[in-house]
Amino acid sequence: MKNTITEALIYEAQGLQDDALLVYRNILKIEPGNKEAVSAIRRLSGLRKRDPNLNEQMRDFFINMKSDEEIIEFKRWLIRL
Please say whether the beta carbons of 11 and 20 come within 8 A: yes
pLDDT above 60 for 1: yes
Question: What string of DSSP letters covers 29-65?
Answer: HH-TT-HHHHHHHHHHHHHHHT-TTHHHHHHHHHHT-
pLDDT tens-digit series, residues 4-59: 999 998 888 888 888 999 999 999 999 988 999 998 888 888 755 555 555 666 67
pLDDT above 80 for 76: no
pLDDT at 52: 56
Supply the pTM of this predicted model.
0.57
Segments making up each domain of the chain, as ranges: 5-80
The length of the chain is: 81
In angstroms, what CA-CA distances link 81 with 20, 22, 74? 23, 22, 11
**Rounded to whole angstroms, how far apart are CA atoms 63 and 48?**
18
Nearest to 21 by CA among 30, 39, 56: 39
